[in-house]
Amino acid sequence: MAAPALKHWRATLERVEKFVSPRYFADCNLRGRLLGDTCPLAALSSFLTPDRLPYPEAVRQHFRPAQVGDSFGPTWWTCWFRVELTIPEAWVGQEVHLLWESDGEGLVWRDGQPVQGLTKEGEKTSYILTDKLEEGDPRSLTLYVEVACNGLLGAGKESMIAAPDPEKMFQVSRAELAVFYRDVHSLLVDLELLLGIAKGLGEDNQRSFQALYTANQMVNVCDPAQPETFPVAQALASRFFGQRGGESQHTIHAVGHCHIDTAWLWPFKETVRKCARSWTTAVQLMEQNPDFVFACSQAQQLEWVKSHYPGLHARLQEFACRGQFVPVGGTWVEMDGNLPSGEAMVRQFLQGQNFFLQEFGKMCSEFWLPDTFGYSAQLPQIMRGCGITRFLSQKLSWSLVNSFPHHTFFWEGLDGSRVLAHFPPGDSYGMQGNVEEVLKTMVKNRDKGRTNHSAFLFGFGDGGGGPTQTMVDRLKRLHNTDGLPRVQLSSPGRLFTALEGDSGQLCTWVGELFLELHQGTYTTHAQIKKGNRECERILHDVELLSSLALARGAQFLYPAAQLQDLWRLLLLNQFHDVVTGSCIQLVAEEAMCHYEDIRSRGNTLLSAAAAALCMGEPGPEGLLIVNTLPWERTEVLALPRSGGAHSLGIMPSPGDSAQHGLCSCSCPHLTAARAAPAACIRAVGRPCRLSCRTSPTKTDGSVTLDNGIIRVRLDPTGCLTSLVLVASGREAIAEGAVGNQFVLFDDVPLYWDAWDVMDYHLETRKPVLGQAGTLAVGAEGGMRGSAWFLLQISPNSRLSQEVVLDVGCPYVRFHTEVHWHEAHKFLKVEFPARVRSPQATYEVQFGHLQRPTHHNTSWDWARFEVWAHRWMDLSEHGFGLALLNDCKYGASVRGSTLSLSLLRAPKAPDASADMGRHEFTYALMPHKGSLQDAGVIRAAYSLNFPLLALPAPGPAPAAAWSAFSLSSPAVVLETVKQAESSPQGRTLVLRLYEAHGSHVDCWLRTSLPVQEAVLCDLLERRNPAGHLPFRDARLKLTFSPFQVQSLLLVLGPARTETLPLGL
């Protein structure tokens, strides 16, 4: 034996590195011995198609001879390869692989079933034909390899997030059989781990030197040309890895994972195949490793696999029964955490949890959302209402300014609900099982001393791919090794059980989890965001009218299946790279088609419900006026008249506190009309006589609109110079400033174009100056006064706007049309307010929250651009100013200036994002007192849910009818729908929430034939102690601030005669 030599650290490291290198000395090192003899394929042929064909259809096509080096394409096409092979007799007893290296993403089909994905990017370049060739095994096989002409992360031209290159071509670079030496693979894994330990622990650590010296000695004893030397080297490694750590070692729970974006840099249909490629590989790993657990989220993806790959779905169900395949998340897709409405978030869980229960026998106990762009403060309440108390994410590690202070903590929501939250300290959901990641998971944990367990999610992600056998081998080898944290192949359930058992010292984070990055996603692709808001409204209205039709008529069939389809379509597009606009053009176009489908089919369902509501009524023919909101309101309507023209109309209120109402209008040619409360039916023969009128006046080129509630003054360019609350004479616009000021910013982020707007964009502010003389009077009083103007934003973009003030309306509306053709510009509109407050209020799901208007700390500054739903408000004691909108989400309040983000112009990954014509409305509402007392919340609802004027197919109801009313203005009746599980279909679900931030008792009155009322959770499961006494057509509910409550109303049989109408 050679005498010990003094070892130089760097030289020794590099010696071992070269021994395992695929690049250096592969002719004589260990890596070069991983494969033995090779054999060419018996035959290779191919078929190219622009379509994504199912297997039975593809294999019937005409295949032409092909060879290694052939090119195929272009982007988004598919090339099917028929692989005919014959294994040499001499390979009996050996492990035999098909080696396949090509551009694109491949899927191996064997005996008509998908069996494994193949991607160079995902380190899957071989398929195991047999782990040991036996004498009786068949020697000749025919396989098919389906290759998608796109990479794991799309087909960006020159960079990952660039728009796809439509002409990109692909190539097969390797296709042959080979003998695979498993003992060489095991040695390579050990040597790479030893190198990782030596590097990771560093030169000051004793264990580091032990790892390096062990690896060096393995190189000494291992002769790659003599396999009989391998066991000696293996024994050296086993002795090192067999030295155990102490009982106090940090425990890492390694869970197989494969994050697949439901659409992003590739279209939805390609995701279907990504799921098959990734999950067939996971099935292989579960077969070969009984202790390997694979966590999988997103019910939509599983539903796709069930439809397109039923055999694979059955295997997943089998492994779910074994506890190896674990559905997580509970939602239909991994939705954006900011933009979807509260009701849409509930439906994500309702659809997802029901699917998981139906297909896998149980619901998820963890909410799994690793890659979205922020997390609403109402998510804890929604989670708990859906049976989930655990939350996993990691995206806050991307925050640019501040490091989030915890990895394991309790997250407390807007209403006080708490869930246990865990962020993997390795700050990734795509680990590969190397030592550096394992050490980072332990060292970077910000809750040392409070908890001793962490998640470790391993597997290629975003574009799919998932774990590999090599990753599993690494983690198994590191199971319990001195100097490292303890590693165990685990499951989400075991992780959270361990965290719960060690949670006594955990801290609590209260409120939203705000991502200090990707703030451009609140604005990018404005048409997608408009489609989302409109379709949320349409589905709300369809469910309400269908529920009322169900309650009133025995013959009406509630369209449950159609509504489920439409909801699932909307939920699909709320995926965190779709509704945010951070997707390629193909995806954006698909989303717009989906929204149009929801609009079209939704309107058809609305008409059907309206027809059912009118059936058997004695009133005159005309219009059915529907108020879908839970309070009485008055609005100016544009009613149809002969010749296709419209006239303004307003329906009189049915009186009392009637809400959710319907009424009929037999005289559609009214000069003005007033709107009925939500769910009333009434005949109106003539217009109301209202004393107030709007009267535009024009002096010195400016225009004044005054409806007796507010007075608006516009300068000759269309800027707002004055906004006065008439009763008090209080001015809302800051002295010396103008509102409705359009401003343009340079918008060039550091990298993530569609995602990011950087703080430095604020330094490039340029007011868009209008031209005097473009302001003109539109409607000249009566029920509506208006003025309009044109504005040239730039040589390429222009804007036109109608400023509208209706009789009786507490806010002024700005109907805006923009023709937008810019590059890396950001358009906003500003309103400097004569209000001073250190915080502004923003609507979120089922409530609102405050954010600072100052920049005292880095946490304040990082919120230079935030998100809101239908309104934001800046108030001081006794007075405030609210900015409402019908389809925008990006916003900010800096100092006393309210700013609404309108349009961006990023060029990646969609170069056409936001280009073209846009229409949207925002509104400004000055108010006395608090926003709650002034009715800001109701005003924003009214802007987003205008009264419906539906053609009555026959006689309309002769009198007004109201279904529901609430005694407290603090409570909103958000949703009325049929219960998912409803005997005879006559059970309704009502969802209400407290909107003011107060404790309140509220009486719900209904005219429906209610037999039983009981509280339920958000999944519509009865609360055993939730029975509600129902007497005198009403029941009592008690709310805490921002609490969401759901209840089941079991209805009696529908009456066949005409119902008595009114309350």
| C-alpha–C-alpha distance, residues 527 and 524, integer Å | 9
* Residue 463, pLDDT above cutoff 80: yes
| Residue 668 confidence (pLDDT) above 80 | no
Q: What is the pLDDT of residues 803-814, one digit of tens each?
A: 999 999 999 999
- Look at residue 985 and tell me whether its pLDDT is greater than 90: no
Would you mind telling me the total number of residues written for the chain in this entry? Answer: 1063
Q: Where are the beta strands (DSSP E) in 630-762?
A: 637-640, 646-649, 659-665, 697-699, 702-706, 710-714, 720-725, 730-731, 741-746
Q: Residue 489: what pLDDT? A: 98
Higher pLDDT, 641 or 429: 429
Instruction: From 250, 284, 251, 203, select the one nearest 12 (Cα to Cα).
Output: 203
Tens of pLDDT along 863-916? 999 999 999 999 999 999 999 999 999 999 999 999 999 999 999 999 999 999
Decide if pLDDT at 662 tops 60: no
Q: Which of 103, 371, 806, 886 is catalytic?
A: 371
* Residue 680 confidence class, pLDDT cut points 50, 70, 90: very low
Split at pLDDT 50, 70, 90, the class of 620 is low
| pLDDT given for residue 20 in this prediction | 96
Q: Is the pLDDT reported for residue 98 higher than 60?
A: yes
The pLDDT of residue 779: 82
User: Which residue do the tokens 């050490």 mark?
Assistant: 439
Phi, psi of 498 (to 5 degrees): -65, -40
Distance of alpha carbon 672 from alpha carbon 653, whole angstroms: 14
pLDDT at 698: 72
Q: How confident is the model at residue 937 (pLDDT cuts 50, 70, 90)?
A: very high
Token readout for 153 is 């992360």
Q: Are 694 and 805 in contact (CB under 8 A)?
A: yes
SS3 174: strand
Q: What's the angle, vertex CA 761, arms to CA 755 and CA 762, rounded to 5? A: 130
Distances in Å between the Cα of 495 and the Cα atoms of 141, 428, 456 are: 43, 16, 10
Q: How many whole angstroms separate alpha carbon 64 and alpha carbon 203?
A: 58
pLDDT band at 389 (very low <50, low <70, confident <90, very high): very high
List beta partners, residue 151. Answer: 154
Q: How far is residue 500's CA from residue 422's CA, in Å, rounded to a whole number?
A: 11
Please give the pLDDT value at position 85.
Answer: 98
Amino acid at 1034: R
pLDDT at 658: 41
Mean pLDDT of 35-52: 98
Helix (H, G, I), strand (E, B) or coil at 251: strand
In this structure, are strands 251-257 and 453-458 parallel, antiparallel, or unpaired? parallel
With cut-offs at 50, 70 and 90, classify the pLDDT of residue 619. low
Alpha helices in 180-267 (DSSP H): 182-201, 206-221, 230-241
* Per-residue confidence (pLDDT) for residue 647, from 0 to 100: 62
Reported confidence tier of residue 7, pLDDT bands at 50, 70, 90: confident
Rounded-to-integer distance, Cα 947 and Cα 676, Å:
8
> 638 pLDDT band (50/70/90 cuts)?
confident
Find where tokens 């939704």 sit.
Answer: 602
Distance (Å, whole) CA 337 – CA 348: 11
| Model pLDDT, residue 920 | 98
Look over the chain and give the mean of its residue pLDDT values, rounded to a whole number.
Answer: 93
> What are the tens digits of pLDDT across the range 547-606?
999 998 878 999 999 999 999 999 999 999 999 999 999 999 999 999 999 999 999 999
pLDDT band for 655, please (50, 70, 90 cuts).
very low
Q: For 487-511, give the DSSP string.
A: EEE--HHHHHHHHHTT-TT--EEES
pLDDT of residue 675: 39
- 956: pLDDT strictly greater than 80: no
Residue 682 has pLDDT above 80, yes or no: no
Active site residue 223: no
Measure Cα distances from 216 to 58, 209, 243, 828 in Å.
Answer: 52, 10, 18, 63
Give yes or no for residue 259 having a pLDDT over 90: yes
pLDDT number for residue 686: 39
pLDDT(644) > 60? no
Q: What is the pLDDT of residue 1053?
A: 87
| Range name among 350-364, 369-383, 398-412, 691-705 with the lowest pLDDT average | 691-705
Asked if the model's pLDDT at residue 518 lies above 70, the reply is: yes
Q: What is the pLDDT of residues 275-332, one digit of tens each?
A: 999 999 999 999 999 999 999 999 999 999 999 999 999 999 999 999 999 999 999 9
Cis peptide before 909 (omega within 30 of 0): yes
Question: What's the pLDDT band for 3 if we cut at 50, 70, 90?
Answer: low
